[in-house]
Structure 1
Amino acid sequence: MKIVKKISSKLVIMFMTLCLFISFSQNITAFADSFKVVTLGGNLTQDQKNQMLDYFKVTKNDANILDITTDEEKKYLGNVASPAQLGNKSISCSYVEPTSKGGLTISTYNLTWVTEGMIRNALITAGVENANVIAAAPFKVSGTAALTGILKGFENSSGGSKIDEEKKEVANEEIVVTGDLGDKIGQDEAAKLINDVKKDVVKEKPKTDKEIEKIVEKAVKEYKVELSNEDKETINSLMTKINGLDLNYNKIKDQLNDAASKLKEKLNSEEAQGFFAKVKEFFSNFFQTISDWFSNDSSNDDESTKNNTESINTKSSIKNSNLKENSDTIETQDENKKSDSSQSENLSTENNSSDNALNKVTK
């Protein structure tokens, strides 16, 4: 009996341990999944929302799904973005997964205004250190709803944390300022310029507006870009606000350097693509020119033969004229010749008729 009791006790303990293990595993899975947050544009159809969930590779069961409305866009971006940039519909979406390490991994799809660099810079300003972020849409849109969704998604993730309201506002303004500047000098170039200026401002912690202006002016000269006084003042204003956040340079310098490195790689890649595109265009035009030359030469020979034949038929000299004039002149001469011939035939017929009439009278 004692042996049976011992065996039964061990079986019960093993069963309870197994149940606890299964329960613990499920809790771990749920905790991991709850890190993921997806924000969907509120004006998307249900099919489009499902399409975006498929794109992000999540389901309603393993991620926190939130809708972004136009009112929320206006709340977060209304003070810095224009009505044209915001639009009247919320379309773009975001995927946010805070991580414990690895820095910021960002990608975009179908966004015409918002770029990876803009999002990265804004997240650094907002104090986000590690996260996987995707901003996308089912068709091409500016991406402002995704911007709103990223910060909201981070705060609503169990792995994220509440973002300071002032940091959030400055981060949103940074995106808009970068986007507007990008319309003039290129989005990636603008993102890199803003990142470099921010790096110097956070590092040097300027005491006056004049010191900030010097940092901005220095960067503008280094980038060799033409900016209006209004553009510079806008950057100065943004950097004054960033300076007021009292960001810890030692804490974010690696992020800033990483952002600069990624933007530089992208710019170099774009320059390389542009160079090879120009080379391709050059050779394409070169061979097309050769092809056109042979084609025109052959065409001219054919036209010359044709014109010579027509010239012989009309017994006229039509040198030193263009082909159209040759054709028109020849056709006119042919018509005149036909007209003369017709008149001659008519005259001959009339003469014959007159002769016949005289013969009859004589008879």
Structure 2
Amino acid sequence: MKRLFIALGLLLIAGISWGSYSVHADETWQPVATLGSSLTEAQKNGTRSTLESAANVSNVSELTVNGDTLVKYLNPSGSNFTAASGVWSSALVQKTASGGINVTIVPYQGTNNITTITSDQYRNAALTAGVTNANLYITSAVKIDGSGALAGVYVAFAQNGQTLNSAQIDAAQTEVNTLSGITAANKDDAGYSDKQLNNAVAGMKKDMASQSNDGQQSLSQNQIGNIVDSQLKQNNLATIINNNQRTQIINLMVKIQNSGALKSSEFKAQASKLASSIQASAKNLFTKLKGLNTQENRNFLQRILDAIANFFKAIVDWVSSLI
């Protein structure tokens, strides 16, 4: 009997050890390079070298992203790619056990050829799509918006047994289109930066996850609107984002909630890490924003506005007295 208990104990220990090993093995996998199908052989070699050098890896697997890939992953959100669409932007996906989602847009032969999607937009989209803990390196041999690289990220996860939810990918692509459009519209505004917007969006996701009890309760559009307004205000965007853009962001957040993204146990933590990382990457900007967002400054600005209003009122009263 004693020997039986010893044997069972050894089996239990072995089972625990094997279980822990299996979970750990599922957390990471061999890095994957996703190469655009339109690249020439010379460009493929250059892209491969650029990505591997940036990630400091050499033993990577490869897959090709083509027009069919774009149709599958990007068209449901409103894009109009075809099987014949060209793909040049490429990615290297390095799955990690921790650290959140990190994106580096790597210059190709000294030039950043990703023209539309910013690194923080890639990060927010990856979060919405269900990506957790990954280093993503993006590059392109020609000037291009960068959609093919993001589609490649989705394929890389699917190839490694972590197929992402299609509704979340759809929401992620809507997010890229929405945020890139808002950034393009406000790029000449001295009080605006893409980092402010993406930090606000990451904060919205974190707040939505908290207030919905990790997606167990559905938030009303009014509740989501309040979250959006709060984060825009915290990031000094309340007077920059117009009503149409605010509506776009609210609709996006509703779509993210409906996609089921909030139900992930990792979503809130990943969103929090993303916001912290964005702030750390532009510390001076966010320190300045916090300084501007004080009661003293708000009172000062209010006094200026009151003085302006009183000035024009005095002019109106003076003109009226002449009549």
Partner of 2:74: 77
Distance in 2, Cα, partners of 1:56 & 1:45: 16
Distance in 1, Cα, partners of 2:282 & 2:143: 22
Distance in 1, Cα, partners of 2:27 & 2:48: 18
Partner of 1:189: 196
Partner of 1:304: none
C-alpha deviation, 1:239, in angstroms: 0.7
Partner of 1:224: 236
Q: Which runs of 5+ in 2 are unaligned?
A: 1-25, 107-111, 187-192, 213-217, 288-323
SS in 2 for 1:54: helix
C-alpha deviation, 1:204, in angstroms: 0.9
Asked if the contact 1:115/1:188 (under 8 Å) is kept, the reply is no
Distance in 2, Cα, partners of 1:195 & 1:188: 10
Partner of 1:120: 123
Asked if the contact 2:115/2:144 (under 8 Å) is kept, the reply is yes
C-alpha deviation, 1:249, in angstroms: 7.2
Partner of 1:209: 221
C-alpha offsets along residues 90-109 of structure 1, whole Å, 9 cap, x if unaligned? 11100012223333332112
C-alpha offsets along residues 44-76 of structure 1, whole Å, 9 cap, x if unaligned? 111000111111228xx9433222123432442
C-alpha deviation, 1:207, in angstroms: 2.8
Asked if the contact 2:35/2:88 (under 8 Å) is kept, the reply is yes
Asked if the contact 1:96/1:150 (under 8 Å) is kept, the reply is yes
Partner of 1:162: 163
SS in 2 for 1:38: strand
- Aligned with residue 254 of structure 1, among 245, 269, 274: 269
Distance in 2, Cα, partners of 1:248 & 1:154: 19
- Aligned with residue 54 of structure 1, among 46, 49, 55: 49
SS in 1 for 2:140: strand
User: For residues 76 and 246 of structure 1, do their structure 2 counterparts lie closer, same or farther at Cα, with a shift above 3 Å needed?
Assistant: closer
User: What code does the residue aligned with 1:94 have?
Assistant: A
User: What code does the residue aligned with 2:236 have?
Assistant: K
Asked if the contact 1:189/1:267 (under 8 Å) is kept, the reply is no
Q: What is the aligned-residue identity percentage?
A: 25
Distance in 2, Cα, partners of 1:193 & 1:132: 22
Q: Within 5 A, what are the aligned runs for 1:225-240?
A: 225=237, 226-240=240-254
2:238 is equivalent to residue 243 of structure 1: no
Partner of 2:88: 91
Asked if the contact 2:33/2:60 (under 8 Å) is kept, the reply is yes
User: For residues 183 and 268 of structure 1, do their structure 2 counterparts lie closer, same or farther at Cα, with a shift above 3 Å needed?
Assistant: farther
SS in 1 for 2:141: strand
SS in 2 for 1:174: helix
Greater Rg by CA: 1
Distance in 1, Cα, partners of 2:228 & 2:51: 38
SS in 2 for 1:101: coil
Asked if the contact 2:129/2:168 (under 8 Å) is kept, the reply is yes
Aligned length, in residue pairs: 236
Partner of 1:37: 32
Asked if the contact 2:132/2:270 (under 8 Å) is kept, the reply is yes
SS in 1 for 2:262: coil
User: For residues 50 and 124 of structure 1, do their structure 2 counterparts lie closer, same or farther at Cα, with a shift above 3 Å needed?
Assistant: same
Q: Which runs of 5+ in 1 are unaligned?
A: 1-30, 273-363
Asked if the contact 2:38/2:86 (under 8 Å) is kept, the reply is yes
Stretch deviating more after TM superposition (103-112 or 164-173): 103-112
Distance in 1, Cα, partners of 2:77 & 2:71: 9
Distance in 2, Cα, partners of 1:208 & 1:147: 30
TM-score, structure 2 normalization: 0.64
TM-score, structure 1 normalization: 0.58
C-alpha offsets along residues 275-328 of structure 1, whole Å, 9 cap, x if unaligned? xxxxxxxxxxxxxxxxxxxxxxxxxxxxxxxxxxxxxxxxxxxxxxxxxxxxxx
Distance in 2, Cα, partners of 1:156 & 1:35: 11
Q: Greater helix share, 1 or 2? A: 1
Q: Within 5 A, what are the aligned runs for 1:301-340?
A: none
